[in-house]
Amino acid sequence: MKYNRILLKLSGEALMGTRQYGIDPVRLAEYAEEIKKVTELGIQVAIVIGGGNIFRGVAGASNGMDRVQGDHMGMLATVINGLALQSALEDADVQTRLQTAIKINEVAEPFIRRRAIRHLEKGRVVIFGGGTGNPYFTTDSAAVLRAIEIEADVILKGTRVDGIYTADPEKDTSATKFDHITFEDVLKKGLKVMDTTAFTLSQENELPIIVFDMNTQGNLLKLLKGENIGTTVQ
């Protein structure tokens, strides 16, 4: 296997499935099965999950809410998603731990780096909830930060599209996909992979990002087995 330890970033919106809001249990169960297959290969899996299916701080602020208050709500939304994913993984007989950046000790462990690594070494899937624990950040930044901290080999960003394109493929039919692209070229071409803070953190720490379509069943496994899936930023 090319990768021993991965950090999978899932957006909150991905959990909605066909719904307009919240969590689709069918989608959740599908994800759990995909993740289970990866652990069966002996790959260590950490997950950062977003909260956009429930609440985004920016959306709150645009409706007149205090931004920090909204971001706190957003971070709690990621914990809700983390609990849902944990439950789905346990239903699929996968051992998990949820660690949060904001302490909610009755519900989840606090984030402790060494402990997270120990869980991974024991084959448990570690879900990181609560983003970075700070307002004005995103879960993409949390994903990169945690990946660096736990020394993951790569970040896998599961999205709706199957990689990075020359233009938005949902708007421009002539857009073509990159298999590989450098961090510099992403910036030069003004392509959107992650928010700037997250992207720069990844670049500075030479942490590769693979953007791929998580909604096509089997894709995650194929990618990890070395098939040419998604776009690698390196």
Q: Determine the residue with CB nearest ligand UDP.
A: 50
d(CA 118, CA 106): 21
Nearest to 194 by CA among 139, 132, 140: 140
138 binds ligand UDP (CB under 6 A): yes
Q: Site for ligand UDP (CB under 6 A): which residue of 8, 35, 46, 56?
A: 56
Q: CB-wise, 56 or 124, nearer to ligand UDP?
A: 56
Stretch that binds ligand UDP, among 53-61, 87-95, 149-157, 217-225 (CB under 6 A): 53-61
Q: CB-wise, 52 or 163, nearer to ligand UDP?
A: 52
Half-sphere exposure of 155 (CA within 13 A, CB side): 33
Residue 77: what residue type?
A
Nearest to 21 by CA among 86, 91, 87, 77: 77
* Contact string (CB under 6 A) for ligand UDP, positions 9-28, x = contact: --xxx---------------
Tell whether residue 226 is among the known ligand binding residues: no
Q: Site for ligand UDP (CB under 6 A): which residue of 96, 132, 203, 219?
A: 132
Q: CB-wise, 138 or 179, nearer to ligand UDP?
A: 138
Minimal distance in Å, beta carbon 9 to ligand UDP?
Answer: 7
74 binds ligand UDP (CB under 6 A): yes
Tell whether residue 168 is among the known ligand binding residues: yes
Q: CB-wise, 58 or 180, nearer to ligand UDP?
A: 58
**Could you give the strand order of the β-sheet that contains 180-181, starting from the edge strand earlier in sequence?**
109-110, 96-100, 125-129, 44-49, 5-10, 154-159, 209-213, 231-233, 180-181
Stretch that binds ligand UDP, among 35-43, 68-76, 88-96, 218-226 (CB under 6 A): 68-76
Minimal distance in Å, beta carbon 130 to ligand UDP?
Answer: 7
Tokens of 147: 């990946």
**Alpha-carbon torsion, ordered 158, 162, 166, 170, to 10 deg:** -100
**Positive or negative torsion for Cα 52, 54, 59, 65:** negative
